[in-house]
Amino acid sequence: MSLAKTFSALSDPTRIRILELLKKRDLAAGEIGKHFSITAPSLSHHLSVLKDTDLVSVRRDGQQQIYSLNLSVFEEVAEGLVKIFKKK
């Protein structure tokens, strides 16, 4: 995992809001989309960025894609930050 790539993914307010929604519960892409006034391709782009950085995972349930937070990546990011700022 690249901290720079993860921070880049986290730099967008729409992606932050998606993560906040997923913090409460797993959601289908359509359910996520109801919270935004953006096009489906734009939402798909944001979800792809989050998937590519492993911040979210996705599973298929019939026709739907269900998104969930990948908490282990957040733990890795926190550990990386501690290493960066830890005084020796």
CA–CA gap between residue 40 and residue 17 (Å, rounded): 16
Q: Indicate if the pLDDT at residue 88 is higher than 80.
A: no
Indicate the average pLDDT of the chain. 92
pLDDT digits 0-9 by tens, 56-82 = 999 999 999 999 999 888 888 888 888
Instruction: Specify the fold of 3-85.
Output: Arc Repressor Mutant, subunit A (1.10.10)
Q: Is the pTM of this model over 0.75?
A: yes
Asked if residues 55 and 6 have their Cβ atoms less than 8 Å apart, the reply is: yes
Instruction: Give the Cα-Cα-Cα angle 50, 53, 56 (nearest 5 degrees).
Output: 45
Residue 26: the pLDDT is 97
Question: In the predicted model, what is the mean pLDDT of residues 42-57?
Answer: 96
Helices 40-52 and 3-10: crossing angle in degrees, nearest 10, is 150
Q: Which two tokens stand for residue 16?
A: 């932050």
Q: Is the dihedral of CA 5, 18, 35, 59 positive or negative?
A: positive
